[in-house]
């Protein structure tokens, strides 16, 4: 995890008038360092030893604040709990249909897709989202045996 990313995120929060509590700091730090797109429950379980008085509701409330100020994206896939992704650069997700693991990947070839879609359709495009589904190497290895 980049300390710079954490500092910038904390500065963003301070700039919007959000108080930096120890729990808020820890949740943000966990999100930045986690590459697993954790659920609120995952974050709670990872931090409950350090913050025994923290509730799952505290985690959800902080994630909502982070989402509202644009630091975090909530990923909903309809089937399970929302997962949360610290926003670094524009990237896409590959999702394992067996275990639900989500992996980031960058594909700069799609950077112009919004402009092209706008040009072709006349839409004022705000954003796009793409997901790729398949079987991760771990699950594929289990299936092979």
How does pLDDT run across 66-78, given as a tens digit for each residue?
Answer: 988 888 888 887 6
Q: Do residues 29 and 1 lie in contact, with contact meaning Cβ atoms separated by under 8 Å?
A: yes
What is the per-residue pLDDT across 99-143, written as a single tens digit (0 to 9) for each?
888 887 777 667 677 888 889 999 998 877 778 899 999 999 888
How far is the C-alpha of 93 from the C-alpha of 81, rounded, in Å? 16
Structure confidence at residue 121 (pLDDT)? 93
3-state per-residue secondary structure call for 80-95? CCCEEEECCCCCEEEE
CB atoms within 10 A of CB 71: 23
Q: What is the pLDDT of residues 17-59, one digit of tens each?
A: 888 999 999 999 999 888 778 999 999 999 999 999 999 999 9
* Tokens read off for 7: 């500092």
CA 35 from chain center: how many Å? 9
Q: What is the DSSP letter of 97?
A: T
* pLDDT for the residue numbered 79: 64
CA distance 35 to 103: 8
The secondary structure of residue 71, as a DSSP letter, is: S
- Position 56 scores a pLDDT of 93
∠ at Cα 47 (8, 9), nearest 5°? 5
pTM: 0.65
């Amino acid at each position: 995890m980049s300390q710079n990313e954490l500092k910038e995120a904390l500065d963003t929060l301070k700039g919007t008038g959000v108080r930096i509590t120890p729990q808020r700091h820890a949740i943000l730090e966990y999100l930045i360092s986690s590459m697993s797109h954790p659920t609120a429950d995952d974050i709670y379980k990872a931090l409950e030893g350090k913050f025994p008085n923290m509730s799952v509701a505290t985690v959800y409330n902080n994630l909502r604040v982070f989402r509202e100020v644009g630091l975090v994206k909530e990923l909903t896939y309809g089937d399970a709990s929302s997962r949360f992704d610290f926003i670094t650069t524009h990237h896409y997700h590959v999702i394992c249909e067996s275990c639900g693991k989500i992996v980031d990947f960058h594909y700069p070839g799609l950077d112009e897709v919004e402009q092209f879609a706008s040009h072709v359709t006349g839409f004022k495009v705000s954003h796009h989202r793409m997901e790729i589904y398949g079987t991760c190497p771990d699950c594929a290895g289990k299936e092979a045996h």
